[in-house]
């Protein structure tokens, strides 16, 4: 009997993941990662979520453990988020968590426990292509819930040791399974925010955790003409229109953040559209390299539509040239490359234009 370690967040997705794997004959072990201090009362890391996971494990009659990963989570995810944010980037901590925590520390723990696999409740698919002798990461069945964007950091080794049982289900089907099993989390709402920041209050979080004090600076246009003052660069992101405090005959939008000179750059709507970006920290899943221009579909953020583009290697980076200009390409976010339903890879947007 194959043994699998399941990352249980206390939500419906990971709970049904456990149920499906047990039904398929796996020896299932549930583990909830404690990533935040005990006084956090929301999200997948709260004490109530740990208790929800424990109750589900009892109903399903599987062992359940809590793994304290607070220190490594702060070092690898929270500190990185802070460093990037105050440098003018807009990072995605969920991707960082997948890379270093779920498919890093937790996968290592699964191997220590002699587990054959690690499983999570992600809506994505893993397939093995015998002809290419490669494991492929593909989109999940539920196109509205597909989470392959967050998983482009996976490698062949990780894919070989990972299971995504929900890839062939829709969210509605998963909730219905939970209801049939009489799991109390069947209708539990899912968090859409960064788990360690309360209601997107980044400035308050940085002040509390890092003693950070935002510095007032200039708001300038693309010709470096000063138009006003900003309240700290962490309060602005590419494409932002509201809260600039500048009167103008035409609406102004944030088109750049210059952290070195502590400036926010604004422009008109047409200046927010860009047709090229450079990405760093590239991970390729199913191809070995990009030796020549390649036509792909590209997502520049989780909720964005896929766009046609070509990608090519450039000085240890990948340059992405879009067929049509894209709205608010944001440094720090991840850009992910697709070939139909297959995730080729991705990286971090470093600069635009």
Q: List residues with catalytic annotation.
A: 97, 195
Q: How many CB atoms lie within 10 A of CB 96?
A: 21
Q: What residues are paired with 228 via a beta bridge?
A: 219
Tell me how far apart the alpha carbons of residues 33 and 122 are, in angstroms, rounded to a whole number: 16
Number of H helices, E strands in the chain: 10, 17
| Measured distance CA(142)–CA(172) in Å, rounded | 9
Element (H, E) at 130: none
How far is the C-alpha of 5 from the C-alpha of 103, rounded, in Å?
12
Strands 334-339 and 294-299: antiparallel
Closest CA to 215 of 206, 223, 224: 206
Taken as a whole, the chain contains a residue count of 353
In angstroms, the CA 313 to CA 343 distance is 17
Q: What is the rounded CA–CA span in Å between residue 215 and residue 40?
A: 28
Tokens of 92: 């995605």
d(CA 255, CA 222): 9
Q: Where do runs of H (alpha helix) occur along the chain? A: 12-23, 47-60, 70-73, 79-85, 93-97, 107-112, 156-160, 171-180, 202-210, 269-272
Beta-strand ranges (E) seen in 183-316 are: 217-221, 226-230, 253-258, 263-267, 273-284, 294-299, 307-314
């Amino acid at each position: 009997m194959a043994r699998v370690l399941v990352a249980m967040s206390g939500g419906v997705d990971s709970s049904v993941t456990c149920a499906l794997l047990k039904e398929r004959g796996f020896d299932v072990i549930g583990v909830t990662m404690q990533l935040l201090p005990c006084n956090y009362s929301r999200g997948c890391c709260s004490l109530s979520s740990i208790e929800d996971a424990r109750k589900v494990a009892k109903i399903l009659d599987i062992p359940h453990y809590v793994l304290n990963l607070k220190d490594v989570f702060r070092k690898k995810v929270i500190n990185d988020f802070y460093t990037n944010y105050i440098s003018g980037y807009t990072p995605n901590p969920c991707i960082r968590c997948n890379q270093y925590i779920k498919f890093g520390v937790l996968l290592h723990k699964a191997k220590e426990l002699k587990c054959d696999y690690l499983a999570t409740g992600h809506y994505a698919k893993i397939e093995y292509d015998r002809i290419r002798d490669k494991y492929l990461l593909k989109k999940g069945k539920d196109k509205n819930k597909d989470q392959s964007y967050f998983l482009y950091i996976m490698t062949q080794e990780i894919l070989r040791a990972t299971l995504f049982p929900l890839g062939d289900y829709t969210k509605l089907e998963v909730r219905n399974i939970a209801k049939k099993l009489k799991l109390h989390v069947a209708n539990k709402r899912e968090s859409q925010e960064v788990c360690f920041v309360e209601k997107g209050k980044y400035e308050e979080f940085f002040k509390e955790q890092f003693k950070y004090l935002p510095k007032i600076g200039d708001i300038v246009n693309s010709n470096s003409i000063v138009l006003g003052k900003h309240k700290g660069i962490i309060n602005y992101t590419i494409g932002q229109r509201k809260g600039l405090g500048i009167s103008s005959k035409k609406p102004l939008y944030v088109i750049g953040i210059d952290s070195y000179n502590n400036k926010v750059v604004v422009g008109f709507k047409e200046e927010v559209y860009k047709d090229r970006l450079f990405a760093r920290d590239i991970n390729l899943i199913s191809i070995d390299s990009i030796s020549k221009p390649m036509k792909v579909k590209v997502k520049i953020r989780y909720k964005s539509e896929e766009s046609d583009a070509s990608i090519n290697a450039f000085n240890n980076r990948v340059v992405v040239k879009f067929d049509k200009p894209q709205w608010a390409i944001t440094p720090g976010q991840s850009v992910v490359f697709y070939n139909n339903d297959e995730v080729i890879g991705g990286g971090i947007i470093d600069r635009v234009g």
